[in-house]
Structure formats: C-alpha cells, structure tokens
C-alpha cells in the first residue's frame, strides 16, 4: 500500500505543491465506477491525516457503494482559472488516483464509511514560469517523479 507519507518522502517538494492545491479548498471531486462500469463524479471532502489521504461517504451514498464494489477512484482538487495577464502565477490543479481501503466509520457518533487511499498516481498540472508551456508532473510508486511539457 502506498500512503501519502510515501510520496512526501520520495518527492517532498512535489508533494508539498500537490497538498497545497488540495488544502486550498474544502470541496474536491471524486470519480468512481458504477455497477455497470460507467463513471460517476461526486463532490467530496478529503484530508491528509497522519501521513494518509482519507475521505468518507455518507450512509447510503452512491460513491460509497461504488467504492465498496470497485475501490478504484480518481480525486481532483478544486480548479481555479488562471488570472488573465498573470497566467504564470496559476497554481494549477492536482489529481490523485488509487484504490480506496475501508477504514471503519466516518467519525464517532456518525454513520457512514471512512476510506484511506492506496495511491497509484499523483499528478500536478501547471504552467511554466513564462506561461508558454503546460507542465505535467506525475509520480507513481513504480517510476517515481516524471515530467513533460507541452506547447
């Protein structure tokens, strides 16, 4: 299992930037798979706790049903538009994908499911310093941190 702490150890500066994007806004978007295999997008809150990426699902929520049936997910940070004239300062967007691991109830006294992420990929998409190239950086347990630029 790959926890958030593993990314922080392997690529600390990259992990700092990705976490800042996730921490900047309370609400994120998660993609799960429905019973028929089609994608489902849902709003969700997620947090970094004790070196783990954790998130929950309210009772009878479809995303919880999806994750219990097929644990694969993709989590997307909130997205903000670049400011015209200051595009190079756009922080970008981040994505984390992997498998949800059941971790018991959401919190004391509440119903619902809590999940920890077994992370398979982390991505940070942003612009270069001159705002002329799209930069995609991604980390996987097998290959570490990689980077590509697109005009």
pLDDT of residue 111: 75
- Tens-place pLDDT, residues 94-115: 999 999 999 876 665 567 889 9
> What per-residue confidence (pLDDT) applies to 103?
86
pLDDT value of residue 59: 82
Q: Considering only CA atoms, which of 18, 13, 7 is closest in space to residue 141?
A: 7
Sorting pLDDT into bands at 50, 70 and 90, what band is 60?
Answer: confident
Q: Is the pLDDT of residue 70 over 90?
A: yes
Task: Tell me the pLDDT band of 119, cut-offs 50, 70 and 90.
Answer: very high
| Confidence (pLDDT) at 46 | 96
The DSSP output letter for 68 is H
Please state, rounded to an integer, the average pLDDT across all residues of the chain: 94
Decide if pLDDT at 128 tops 80: yes
Question: So what's the pLDDT on residue 108?
Answer: 58
Q: Could you give the 3-state DSSP secondary structure of residue 87?
A: helix
Q: What is the pLDDT of residues 4-53, one digit of tens each?
A: 999 999 999 999 999 999 999 999 999 999 999 999 999 999 999 999 99
- Per the CB < 8 A criterion, the answer to whether 119 and 4 are in contact is yes
Statement: 4-150 belongs to CATH 2.30.110.10: yes
Where are the domains positioned within the chain? 4-150
pTM: 0.93
Confidence of residue 58 (pLDDT cuts 50, 70, 90): confident
Distance CA 73, CA 28 (A): 13
């Amino acid at each position: 299992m790959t926890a958030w702490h593993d990314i922080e150890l392997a690529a600390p500066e990259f992990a700092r930037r990705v976490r800042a994007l996730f921490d900047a806004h309370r609400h994120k978007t998660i993609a799960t798979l429905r019973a028929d295999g089609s994608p489902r997008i849902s709003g969700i809150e997620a947090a970094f706790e004790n070196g783990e990426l954790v998130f929950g699902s309210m009772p009878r929520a479809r995303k919880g049903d999806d994750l219990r049936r097929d644990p694969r997910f993709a989590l997307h940070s909130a997205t903000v538009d670049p400011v015209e004239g200051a595009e190079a300062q756009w922080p970008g967007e981040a994505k984390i994908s992997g498998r949800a691991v059941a971790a018991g109830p959401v919190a004391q006294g509440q119903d619902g499911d809590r999940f920890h992420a077994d992370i398979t990929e982390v991505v940070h998409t942003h612009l270069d310093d001159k705002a002329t190239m799209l930069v995609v950086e991604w980390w996987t347990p097998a290959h570490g941190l990689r980077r590509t630029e697109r005009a």
